[in-house]
Structure 1
Amino acid sequence: MSTRPRPQAREQDSLHGSPHRVSDVMTRAVVAVGRTALFKDIVERMDQWKVSALPVLEGDGRVIGVVSEADLLPKEEFRDSDPDRLTRTRRLADLAKAGASRAEELMSTPAVTVHADATLAEAARIMAVRHVKRLPVVNAEGVLDGVVSRGDLLKVFLRPDNDLADEIRRDVVDVLFPAPVEPVHIIVSEGVATLTGRVADATRIPLAVRLVRGVEGVVGVDCRLTGADGRGI
């Protein structure tokens, strides 16, 4: 069994600017196991670290698989049962795991991983499509750099409202509306951004809404911008 201690994840106040990357939110202190780790050791390590899955490493730290709670449960499910022929046919892989005792026999492989420079949206999409809660973060050689979880991806919604307002001003409003008819006011409360004011080019308002909605940490957008003639979108 092996662990790979890493420096602690960056503090939340380092989350500035969009788009954020996996490296901004991932956990760098990672617990992992080797391919020969025993079933009970895996369960104990999951319980100790309160995680639902562990990367399985080989050699210099290359990720060769992931063992999760789902991989371990067949041992309990089939402990006292004698599966019928249909069950044996349909759940051959689970039955094999029910009789397994080492990580290399239990793990799902190849591991579903992500790179540190992937955006949070990309990581979220991988989790949704592959139905996993945690992703090992690997470098170009497949060596473990950290782990990102669903909870890590939600950290952007902890960004302070004033940080969001500053980013919206700098990256959206000042770019699209450098000379407004009336000043554009930006108020962000509980992640909801409200924009008011009059702008010279009303055709840019829908684009502004899309860009503000794309600022990571923004929960919703209430756009009250109007054109020079007083009309909104």
Structure 2
Amino acid sequence: MRMIVEDAMTSKVISVTAATPFKEIAQALITGGISAVPVVDDDGHVIGMVSEADLLRKEEFREQFHREDYRPPLRARLRHPKGRQKAAGDTAAALMTSPPIVISAAASVVSAARLMQARDVRRLAVVDGNGCLVGIVSRRDLVKVFLRDDDKIAAEVRDDVLGRALWLDTSGVGVEVLQGVVTLSGQVDRRTEAGMAVRLAGRVNGVVDVIDRLSWKRDDVAVSAGRRR
């Protein structure tokens, strides 16, 4: 029911090796219309990532410190050691950011979104169980999840959430979806069933929000609370 990274990622990935020259990396980015490229070893393991920003360090450092043959003082050079290294780099090995931030193809798209947020990156290299490159997932790929058709969302909520996961009689429950917002209405047997229906509906791919208009015949939550007292 929950979409995993493998469902959202781009599987046709342009990659480079540690020995790939600067200009070939730039050409790969331009030709592929991408902003970063993973660096892999001979066995396909991801060892780093080179982005447009990494390539631009060369021009940025040159402009900042070396215009008109100016050589910065030692203090300034020591303050930007990584910038100097990448500015001087001519291959992926020198330019890449390593270790790379990767995610498993079996991880949820929610996990991918949280990792991007935490590490402030726009894309993640996707790896299999052996750590080998199998795809790339970007913020744009994750946003596409919310473009899912309303009818498909409604069918999944009705059939998978209510029918299979909760084993509810759906004849008394209405499911409407508009622009990704799910409205659940009608009556179920127990209050706990209503709560579970709302929570599980909210986990369906493409759901933006859930409006709860369900009622119930038996308040089993109040009964349980009374017994605990």
TM-score range, shorter chain: 0.7 to 0.9
Deviates more, 1:198-207 or 1:30-39: 198-207
Q: Which residue of 2 aligns with 1:62?
A: 45
Aligned counterpart in structure 1 of residue 24 of structure 2, from 41, 61, 78: 41
Q: Say whether 1:210 aligns with 2:210.
A: no
Structure 2 CA distance, aligned partners of 1:177 and 1:34?
52
Structure 2 CA distance, aligned partners of 1:95 and 1:26?
33
Deviates more, 1:82-91 or 1:105-114: 82-91
Contact preservation (8 Å) 2:184, 2:198: no
Contact preservation (8 Å) 1:177, 1:200: no
Cα shift readout 1:18-50 (whole Å, capped 9, x = no counterpart)? 211111121111111111111122112111111
Contact preservation (8 Å) 2:61, 2:83: no
Query: CA 1:201 to 1:32, structure 2 compared with 1: closer, same or farther past 3 Å?
Result: same
Cα shift readout 1:41-70 (whole Å, capped 9, x = no counterpart)? 211211111111101122132211111122
Structure 2 CA distance, aligned partners of 1:176 and 1:139?
32
Deviates more, 1:162-171 or 1:46-55: 162-171
Gaps of 5+ in 2: 66-70, 219-229
| Mapping 1:1-233, distance limit 5 Å | 18-80=1-63, 81=65, 82-174=71-163, 175-176=165-166, 178-179=168-169, 183-228=172-217
Amino acid in the other structure paired with 1:35: A
Structure 2 CA distance, aligned partners of 1:61 and 1:146?
11
Give TM-score scaled by structure 1 length. Answer: 0.83
Shift of 1:85: 4.6
Aligned with 1:197: secondary structure?
strand
Gaps of 5+ in 1: 1-17
**Bigger Rg, which one:** 2
Contact preservation (8 Å) 2:16, 2:39: yes
Q: Which residue of 1 aligns with 2:225?
A: none
Query: CA 1:27 to 1:84, structure 2 compared with 1: closer, same or farther past 3 Å?
Result: same
Structure 2 CA distance, aligned partners of 1:166 and 1:179?
15
Contact preservation (8 Å) 1:177, 1:199: no
Contact preservation (8 Å) 1:26, 1:148: yes
Deviates more, 1:73-82 or 1:114-123: 73-82
User: Identity of aligned pairs, percent?
Assistant: 43
Query: CA 1:216 to 1:86, structure 2 compared with 1: closer, same or farther past 3 Å?
Result: farther
Query: CA 1:84 to 1:215, structure 2 compared with 1: closer, same or farther past 3 Å?
Result: farther
Shift of 1:176: 4.1
Contact preservation (8 Å) 1:33, 1:55: yes
Q: What is the root-mean-square deviation in Å for CA atoms of aligned residues?
A: 2.1
Query: CA 1:177 to 1:61, structure 2 compared with 1: closer, same or farther past 3 Å?
Result: closer
Shift of 1:106: 0.5
Shift of 1:205: 2.5
Amino acid in the other structure paired with 1:43: A
Contact preservation (8 Å) 2:123, 2:136: yes
Structure 2 CA distance, aligned partners of 1:150 and 1:214?
19
Query: CA 1:145 to 1:203, structure 2 compared with 1: closer, same or farther past 3 Å?
Result: closer
Shift of 1:179: 4.6
Shift of 1:219: 0.9
Amino acid in the other structure paired with 1:39: F
Amino acid in the other structure paired with 1:29: K
Larger helix percent: 2
Structure 1 CA distance, aligned partners of 2:143 and 2:210?
18
